[in-house]
Structure formats: C-alpha cells, structure tokens
Amino acid sequence: MKRIQVNETGGPENMQLVDVPTPAPGPKQALVRIAATGVNFIDVYYRIGLYKADLPVTLGNEAAGTVEAVGPEVSEVAVGDRVAYAGMARGSYAEFAVVLAAQLVKIPDGLDFQTAAAAMLQGMTAHYLTHSTYPLKSGETCLVHAAAGGAGGLIVQMAKMLGARVFGTVSTEEKARIAREHGADEAILYTQQDFEAEVKRLTGGRGVDVVYDSVGKTTFDKSLNSLRPRGLMALFGASSGPVPPFDPTILNGKGSLFLTRPSLGFYVSTREELLWRAGDVLSWVAGGKLKLRIDHTYPLAEAATAHRDLESRKTAGKLLLTVP
C-alpha cells in the first residue's frame, strides 16, 4: 500500500509517498480501507516536531472508509461496515490503516466518506469544547478565534445551538462573511481591529465568559484580557506557534481566570463518550443542522500541498486527502 511518511521533522517537503506492506489487524483491531482523510494542524505539529513521535511517522488521525478485515475479539464493527474515526490512531495518510475497533463509529446512511471524514475531528473538538470544557448556556458570550475555519466554524454553530452570543475573529472580509453564515453575531477583523478592545466594547466592558483559542502565541495575551473575571480560556491549538512560558499569577491579576489546554483524546476516553460526541456530530450533519464547509480536496500524493495551504491560513473550512 501507499502512505505518506515523514522520515525527518521539518517542512512539507519532508513528506514522502512510499510503498509499504499492508498491515494486518491484531486482536481488537480492524483494517480500514481509507477513502478520505482529514488534514489538521495536529498533523503539522507532528511533522515539524512540536508534538513528539518516533520516526519515521505516518501523519493523519482522522479518516473514513470501509472495514476490510477484523482481528480476533472484535464486536463493534464487521467487514464491509462504513466507518469513521478521529483523534486516537495516527497513520491515516495512507491507503489502509489498522485501528482499534472500539475507536470506530459507523457512518449514518446518507453521509458520504468525504463528509464523514471532514466532520469527525473538528466536529468532536467543537462538541467537547462547547458541551464539556466550558458547557455554554443560553445568554452566555464566547469568543472564537479563526471563526471561518473548519473547527472555528463548527464551534460557532454549536455555540449558537446552545443559545450563546458569539464573537468570531477573522482575517478578511470574505472570512467575516463566512463566519456570519456560521451564525457569528459579530465578526471581528483582527487585521483591522483590536479584538480585545472590540470584545470589551461589545460586552460593555465585562468581557466574555469563555475564549476558544486555536491560534496560540499571537492571540494568547489579548484572549486572556478579553475574559470576564473568573472566565475560562480553552487553548486547544497553536497555529501561530506555541505560547511562551508565563507566570501563572498572571491569571490571578486578570480576574482569577481559568486556563485549560484540552485535547480530544481525553474527551473520548470511553466508547460511550465517543459514541455520544460522534453520534451528535454525524447526526447533526446528516440532518442538516450542522453545516460543513469543505474548502478543498487533494489526492494522497499531494499531501505536502495541502499542508502548505493549511499553514498559509488562506483556507476557510476543511481540507481533505482522498484515496482512490
């Protein structure tokens, strides 16, 4: 089979298409024939070495496809099932992947593989952020960075489902339009406006209840300043780079703030929780309640181009790799 392999951390040029033997599933595992795989910033973090992995490494931890074979002790899926997964099994930039059967969810009728792959990681991320990390309530306020992006757009939509008032930051007028289409009450162009000042103005000086920040280094300080006293910041990404070390007493001085650095794996640590989050996301997409925006698809061999486009921050929505 073919897969994208990184032998040395660095730029997109370090991603190579290689031929390797097709793996066989072991106990409690299934072999999935990949049809589509999501491209996410976590893949960039592994590629550049921000997140550590033994080399060589195959990127990608979100995909949809068909169960090709199962190992012993598998009861969750059967050969021929259409399935999707995200967040726990790295190696989806490939024609086949071995995944623990308990990490697979069945794709509802009516959803194609590309839609299912696009929904999983960012959809479940938006779900845990808005339903668990800070469970939004009707009338509360939130700030969502990169509100026109794949994850940001889904956070905006789920926050609106819960009745929140949503402010989203974007870089262009076109992305502002997309953020408003997702349901954002206000789209703040951070290239033209100070988002901290805008948030304070829009909330009468109070600040928001929660900030959902996937950007990291360039937004961190102003995100904290945008919170109300005892507000919470969920820092779930670092698209602009990692946040430098800081003195935690800063949180006290800014209003006894809460700061968390969550990740999906800890929010789908049981099969019951996985089925809850994935079930909500996929059913909302299938029913038209949650809108996905697939920005672009690339063949597997063009994974490096997908990474360059993602890192350019010129995209708005989900990027996918497709496997014939």
The 10s digit of each residue's pLDDT in 94-148 is 999 999 999 999 999 999 999 999 999 999 999 999 999 999 999 999 999 999 9
Which residue(s) pair with 297 in the sheet?
320
Q: How confident is the model at residue 41 (pLDDT cuts 50, 70, 90)?
A: confident
**How far lies 202's CA from each of 2, 165, 171, in Å?**
51, 10, 19
pLDDT at residue 313 tops 80: no
Q: At what angle do helices 113-128 and 150-161 cross, to 10 degrees?
A: 60
pLDDT of 315 reads 78
pLDDT digits (tens, 9 = 90+) for 216-267: 999 999 999 999 999 999 999 988 888 999 999 999 999 999 999 999 999 9
Distance between CA atoms of residues 133 and 320, nearest Å: 27
CA 232 to chain centre: 19
Collapsing DSSP to helix, strand or coil, 1 comes out as coil
pLDDT at 300: 98
* Displacement of CA 271 from its chain's centroid (Å): 19
DSSP string, 68-80: EEE-TT--S--TT
Q: Tell me: pLDDT of 89 over 90.
A: no
Query: Please, which pLDDT band fits residue 20 given cuts at 50, 70 and 90?
Result: very high
Q: What is the DSSP string of 198-261?
A: HHHHHTTTS-EEEEEESS-TTTHHHHHHTEEEEEEEEE---TT-PPPP--THHHHHTTS-EEE-
Residue-averaged pLDDT of the chain: 96
Which phi and psi angles does 289 have, rounded to 5°? -75, -30
3-state DSSP helix/strand/coil percent for the chain, to nearest 5?
35, 25, 40
Residue 136 main-chain phi, psi, to 5 deg: -65, 145
Q: Residue 53 CA to chain centroid, in angstroms?
A: 19
CA distances from 97 to 50, 100, 219, 233, 278 (A): 24, 10, 36, 35, 20
For 125, list phi and psi in degrees, rounded to 5.
Answer: -65, -50
pLDDT value at residue 204: 98
In the predicted model, what is the mean pLDDT of residues 1-5? 97
Question: Quick one: pLDDT at residue 317?
Answer: 77
The whole-number pLDDT of residue 194 equals 97
Rounded Cα distance, 259 and 252, in Å: 11
Mean pLDDT of all residues in 36-59: 93
pTM of the prediction? 0.92
